[in-house]
């Protein structure tokens, strides 16, 4: 946790790199960044537990230092955009849900 103290105690502001991820997506991106030397952290910004006791599916944001943001974006590349392209029905069954039927 020493890296977290260094991340938070810095004069370099922390910025949101990617928003509205599921927890596994956010943790995978954080691990990829850290394996490439970019400290990162994931924050649960959801509203807590849903009525059924499960975490909301898209409530995690990924943060880095402002000075690392450009490098982090290069490392993540196509993973930067968590949402599917608008109107892209070229994959799947044409319904836009991403599933082949």
Q: Where are the domains of the chain?
A: 2-78
Domain made up of 2-78: CATH architecture? 2-Layer Sandwich (3.30)
- Kindly report which listed range (18-22, 38-42, 69-73) carries the lowest average pLDDT score: 18-22
pLDDT band at 89 (very low <50, low <70, confident <90, very high): very low
Q: Is the pLDDT of residue 69 over 50?
A: yes
Average pLDDT of the chain is: 75
Q: What number is the average pLDDT over the span 9-35?
A: 90
Q: What number is the average pLDDT over the span 14-35?
A: 92
* pLDDT of res. 87: 45
| Orientation of helix 23-35 relative to helix 69-76, angle to 10° | 110
CB 78 within 8 A of CB 25: no
Q: Is the pLDDT of residue 75 over 60?
A: yes
């Amino acid at each position: 946790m020493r890296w977290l103290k260094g991340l938070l105690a810095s004069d370099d502001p922390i910025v949101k790199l990617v928003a509205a991820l599921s927890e596994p997506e956010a943790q995978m991106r954080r691990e990829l960044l850290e394996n490439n030397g970019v400290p990162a952290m994931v924050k649960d910004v959801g509203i807590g537990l849903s009525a059924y006791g499960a975490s909301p599916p898209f409530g995690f944001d990924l943060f880095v230092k402002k000075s690392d943001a450009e490098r982090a974006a290069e490392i993540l590349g196509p993973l930067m955009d968590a949402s599917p392209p608008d109107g892209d029905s070229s994959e799947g069954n044409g319904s836009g849900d991403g599933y082949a039927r």
